[in-house]
Amino acid sequence: MTPLEPVLPDVLRPGLRLVFCGSAPGAVSAARGAYYAHPGNRFWRVLHEAGLTPRRLAPAEYKLLLDWGIGLTDMAKHASGNDDQLPPDAYDPAGFAARILAVRPDAVAFTAKAPAAAFLGRRTSAIGYGRVEGAPDFPPVWVMPSTSGQASRFWDDRPWHALGAWFRAEPPGGGGT
């Protein structure tokens, strides 16, 4: 039996400053083969506005994030759709942890509470935005408001700007611990 191919490839390598982890690619992202590709998604705009990238990237340019020390992955690598459409076993916290520990970025930022809750073993209601207490021997963890257009009522760009400030101020390899 061959292993399933991921919906989108990880954008990971050793030496990254920051890795973003989403839930799973949405339908538009899966169809286009690019992270955060839905036109209503704020991800690429807020990355630039928060100072994480020197210009606003198009979703198809996602691999360029490596040039700025940023990686991408998802908690569900073999499923796509909105959180409420994912199969119950779609999230793979152990696989996510193994991928992150293999490359050891300075920090990890979840792009929504659902994947953070799956990894941290907490209810979404028990998780705040910004830097949160993570697992021992794991890079610092940040939780960001979802950039999905469907999460507009929860949108707040302040945690994104705080992450951008950390990213610009923290020396590479510092981790901020």
> pLDDT, tens digit, for every residue of 154-171?
788 999 999 999 999 977
**In the prediction, which pLDDT does 66 show?**
98
Number of domains in the chain: 2
**In the prediction, which pLDDT does 150 show?**
75
Residues 87 and 5 in one domain: yes
Residues 28 and 78 in one domain: yes
Q: What is the residue range of 80's domain? A: 1-11+24-33+74-96
Q: What are phi and psi of 142, to 5 degrees?
A: -120, 145
Residues 162 and 80 in one domain: no
How much is the CA Rg of the chain, to the nearest whole Å? 15
Q: What are phi and psi of 132, to 5 degrees?
A: -125, 160
Residues 28 and 84 in one domain: yes
Q: Is residue 60 part of a domain?
A: no
| pLDDT tens track for 75-95 | 999 999 988 889 889 999 999
Q: Give pLDDT < 50 ranges for the chain.
A: 1-2, 177
Q: Is residue 118 part of a domain?
A: no
**In the prediction, which pLDDT does 144 show?**
97
Single-letter code of the amino acid located at 96 = F
Of 71, 67, 78, 81, which Cα lies nearest the Cα of 109?
A: 71
Residues 79 and 28 in one domain: yes
Q: Is residue 135 part of a domain?
A: yes
Q: Is residue 165 part of a domain?
A: yes
Q: Are strands 141-143 and 107-110 parallel, antiparallel or unpaired?
A: parallel
Work out the number of other CB atoms within 10 angstroms of the CB of residue 155: 14
Segment 119-125 long-range contacts (CB within 8 Å, at least 24 positions apart): 119/21, 119/75, 119/93, 121/93
**In the prediction, which pLDDT does 1 show?**
43
Q: Is residue 88 part of a domain?
A: yes
Q: Is residue 177 part of a domain?
A: no
Q: Is residue 43 part of a domain?
A: no
Q: Is residue 38 part of a domain?
A: no
Residues 28 and 80 in one domain: yes
Against a cut of 0.95, is the pTM above it?
A: no
Of 83, 158, 166, which Cα lies nearest the Cα of 117?
A: 83
